[in-house]
Amino acid sequence: MLPSRAQLLGRLLQRAVASRGTAIVSKQIIRRSHDVSYRVNGPTPSLAARAGAQFAGGLMWWWVLWHLFHEYEHITGEFDYPDPSAWTNAELGIPPDDYEE
C-alpha cells in the first residue's frame, strides 16, 4: 500500500512542477493565418477589391432599376383591378336584409 501511495504522490508532485513551470514561462501562441481586427479597424482592402465591389453594386442596381422600369407588372400585377362597386352582396358574403339569425 505504501508504494502505491508514494507513486500517487510522485505523480501529483510531477504535475504540480510541470504546471508551475509552464505558468512561469507561459507564452501566447501567435498564429498569423489571418488579420485580426478586434477593437481596431479592419485591414484596408486593395484597390482592385474596392473597384470590384463598386462595379458589382452598380451592376446590381442597374439590373433592379432596369427591370422595375421595363417590367413593372411584376410589382403592380398584370391585370386591371376589378371595380369594387360592381360586386354583389352574395359575392362579398353579406346576407340579405330579411335574413334572421
pLDDT one-digit tens code per residue, 26-39: 677 777 777 666 78
C-alpha triplet 79, 83, 85: angle, nearest 5°: 170
Q: What is the pTM of this model?
A: 0.42
Output 20 or 48, whichever has higher pLDDT: 48
State the cell numbers at 44.
484596408
Output 77 or 29, whichever has higher pLDDT: 77
Dist CA 33 CA 5 (whole Å): 47
Cβ atoms of residues 35 and 43 within 8 Å: yes
